[in-house]
Structures are given as structure tokens and as C-alpha cells.
Structure 1
Amino acid sequence: RQAVADAGLAPARWDGSRVGVVLGVGVGGVSVLVDNAAKLAASGPEAVSPLLVPMMIPNAAAGEVAIALKAGGPSLAPATACASGATAVAVARDLLLGGSCDVVVAGGAESVLTPLVVTAFARMGALSTRNGDPAGASRPFAADRDGFVIGEGAAMLVLEREAGARARGGRPRALLTGAGSSTDAHHPTAPAPDGYGAQRAVQAALDQAGWTPSDVDHINAHGTSTPLNDAMETTLISRLFPHRPPVTAPKGVVGHTLAAAGAIEAVATVLTLERSVVPPIANLDALPDAFPLDCVTKEPRHQRVETALSHSFGFGGHNVALAFQRA
């Protein structure tokens, strides 16, 4: 609702049949599933909520948003793990370019902070063990990074074709000029270390935008604070962008919000374009010698940014890159 109002739109006045919703969710209502499994074991079938299914299924979030906004166009729920929010934005662009919708509300949401899920991530070695220093535990690209800090949240964007938005007097915050997707086809959880799978997504976004790598002014990195991801992403960025555009990684502040991460970071990228400010990476004092990146640290960097990429990668080898341009 906040995003729709910010865009100067109102469900009471739009043609809902031309409005789509694409909302990436990775897991779904895991807390109600766990609670009801315990109730079934302890008290039998009558204790299980009749609302368990709609509270559990991952597509329920997209359905609820469609109901709230009276959006009768396509309603989709891509699940590409930690790339889901970015996948949703890419799919929204396709719906607009294909003529299926005039407006698409797109983003990601995740709420999985339950003992079971947090324990599962810890058991697989994905989480930081810096338990004595929680504020400093998420350390994207730092030499002593040891895993991510799990979070939860949501972010939504409203997308329209530029001509339609300007014709109604809308004020675009930024232009989504390209979106690319690829799959590593390498491992269930680990990224391909050479970064070529992710590079295919980045190159596809660049091609759609009509850019060369040297045209990119800024990169919002996936930057999970895990040893494998940050090393792979460094390899990718340093190889494809030798002019060293400034890099940020919001997970140092917000943690890893899984399916919501790509949407949150897309919003951050849009704000960087709009406000000419690249935010710093939290808890990064110095890069490893092997990381030849221009990471923004300590303080925000005030500079005009015309073009920017936002990277999102997920378990299963899902890669998404979004190319944004100043409006």
C-alpha cells in the first residue's frame, strides 16, 4: 500500500484487471507449519488449524496483496531462494514488456525466524558464529567473515512502462533498463566459484540495458558475508568491471533476509540513483588483499550515479541481476 501510494496510484481508481502482483517468497508460513505439527503430535487432528494451508503456502502472500489491492491481473510467487525478490522484479518487467499488465506490484517477503529454520541454517554452517558480537557479525567482504546473520523483512516496488507513467503524471524514481537470470547448475547450495554462472545473468542485464561493463557506475552486491559467496562475487566483479565501480552490500546492516533480500536491495539501488549516495558496507574495515574491489566503507560516498546493478544469488544456483538507471 505504501509503494502504491508513493507511485501516485490508488486501487479505487485503477483497472484492476491490468494490475499484476509478483511476490517472491522462499519458504512460506513455516512458523504455523511447525506450530501445527506440534499440535497434531500432542493433541491429535482436531487441534490442527483449518487455516493451516492458506497460512503455509508460499503463494499466499501474493494472493493476499492482490486481494488488498484489488489486483486482478497475473499473480505470481517465484521461489528462487535468496534471489526470489529480484526474480519477482525481473518477471514484473517481462509482464509489462509483454503487454499483460499496465502496473505490476513486485518484490519479496520472508519471515522464517523460527528455532527450526535458524538451527537448520546453523547446522549447514551458513550462519556467523560471532555470537559475542552480534552487531559486528554480518561482515560482507571482510577477511574475517564467517557466515551471514539471518533476518526477515519485505520490500515492494511499483513498476509501469515509462510512457504510461509519465502520461498520467507519475514521477519515476528510476528506470529498470535490464534484468538477467541464469543458473549455475553446479551445487545445491554453493555458488560456482569461478563466477561465470552469475556473470551470465549480469551480462544479460547489461545487454538488455544496452550497456557495456564500463557504463556501470555502481554495484549493489549480494554480499552475504559468507566465505564462498563473497569470494565468488569478488571474482565476478573484478573480472567484468576492471574500472572498479563503487560497491556496497546492505546485508552488513539488515542481515540476510533470504527471499526479501533482492527486493530490499533493489530499493536501496533505486535510492542510490535518486539521492546520489552510496551507503557504506557495515563492519568492513579492510578488504583481503585478494579482493581488488572499491568497496564503500566507514562513511556514505556522495557521488552522482547514473547507472547501477543489483546482484542477487540463491541456493540452487539461481542468479539475477537488475540494471537500473537514473530517471
Structure 2
Amino acid sequence: MTDTITLAHLSDVHLSPVRGLGLRQLNVKRSLGYINWQRSRRRVHLLTALDLVVADMKEYQPDHIAVTGDLINLGLPAEYEVARTWLESLGDPRDVTVVPGNHDIYTNLRGDPGVARWAEYMRADAWGEQLVPENAPPFPFVRRIGPVALICLNSAVETPPFVAAGELGAPQLAALASLLEQTEREGLVRVVLIHHPPLPDLAPPRRALRDAVKLARVLEENGAELVLHGHNHRDHHLDFAWARGRIPVIGIASGSMGRVHKHEPLGRYNLLRITRTSSGAQIECTTRGLDPTAAFIEHVDHKLIS
């Protein structure tokens, strides 16, 4: 089995258009979200931009694709169906892993399966099933891609209007600590996927992970080789110190931005070349995205991050 894989990271695609909004779906939060979509977001999150990004990404034939949430906008049944179709075009569930974002778990519709429509993209593989107790909650789950263990968290919770915060909760945090320990014993490169920025002070309180301090403590005590997130619609990289080194934390901008909005860059994705080494991992990150005219994809950045 090779000790090197290429992982593509895409996030916050906010698939358009918004369809299927009726009286049954209306509440205060969804109504305000729909107004915001009509006023601004529908003009900047463009399928044409996302199609260019995905086509370029596929040319590089990554071994696996990670999508860190916000596939949709208002949590409407028709949106979930559109997102399912888009995921099928992106790749087989064996080759694509999804964690939900706050827009994916937006506001409850009684009796609607919601993100369960994407369940095949959000579950452990046969190897990962062995690491969690039978009948365990769906998150966190684990997939193995060559030398890499993808450890997948759900930070998306329902929130009041004007709030896009996230939370993991004590059970997920405890399970994460155990999975980090188990996968380290297996000698794997541990890559954590989460929608919200995982550390304190990376987003305003109304948009932040509420238990980021507790997550930081788990990472500080147990380590990881990489954490990937979305949510902020901007590229981001910092190194978080833990007991035996540092953990690169990388965020990616929205994959569907076709026009500049609030200083957010145009559509982008990351290609991460991850190599297991005797001392841990070597990770190279290449960022590619739309040129300023949004007409084609160009090289944005390349760096060795560990």
C-alpha cells in the first residue's frame, strides 16, 4: 500500500438555485435566510464557477475528496436532493467524504430526513466500523485512505436567526479523543474534518464553534497530523501546538464564489499531498482557484506545511 495519497478539499459550495420553498417550510430563520439569498448570495455562489473548480480538481485525479459542509442554503427538501445529485457527479461514496455544515442542518422540518439523504457519504468504511462501538452515534466516523485516517466530526446544530455557531458536544469530543489515540497506534496520518473553524478566536461568537476550547484541549492532548475546515469562506492556515509537535489547521474558501463578495476570494480548492514518514507526515498543499475574471482556474499557492 502506498505511503502517499492526494486529498482534495472543497467546502461551502452553497448549491443554487434555492427551490421548493413553500408555506410549510417558512419560519423566521428560513425567511430571513431566503431574503439574504435573494439579496446577495444567489448572485455570487454560481454553479458555473463551481463547475470550473470541480472540473479542474478532477483533472488531478485525487485519491479522495473531502467536502467540509454547507452544500446547501436553507435546509429545504429539494436542496438536499440537488446536493445528492451533485455528490453523485462528484464521485462514488467510497471516494468522497462529507461532513455537514450549519446550512445543511439549518432548521428542522418535521419528518424530513435532511442530511440523511447523503448518508453513504457520511459513514465509516468497513475498517472504520471496527474502531467504534456497535450502535454508536453517527459522528464521529472514520475512513481509511491508504496511510490516512479521516476522522469526521459534525459541528452543525440548529441555531436561532442570525446565529451560525456550531457545537460538538461532550460525546463527540470523548469519541474523538479515543479515535485519535487508536489511529495513532495504527501508525496512520490522522486528518480531522470539521465544518466550523476548530480553535478559539477563529470566527466571531455568532459564527464560532462553541466548544472550541474543549476541542483544542483534545487536540493538544492527543494530537493529529492535520485539521481541515470551511465556514469562513477564506483561505486559512495556522499551526497549533500539541504535546509532541504542531498540528496544521487549514481552512479553504468557498468553492462556488463566482463574484467577489465581502472580500471573500473567488472559488477555490486545495490539493493536499500527504506522505506518511517515520516521524509522522509530510504534507504539501496546493491551492487552485478562479482567476480574477472568473473565466478559468489558475495556480494560487503552494507550500510545504509539515
> Rg bigger for which structure?
1
Q: Give me the TM-score of the superposition, normalised by structure 2.
A: 0.30
- Pick the structure with more strand per residue: 2
**Higher helix fraction: Structure 1 or Structure 2?**
1
State the TM-score, normalizing by the size of structure 1: 0.29
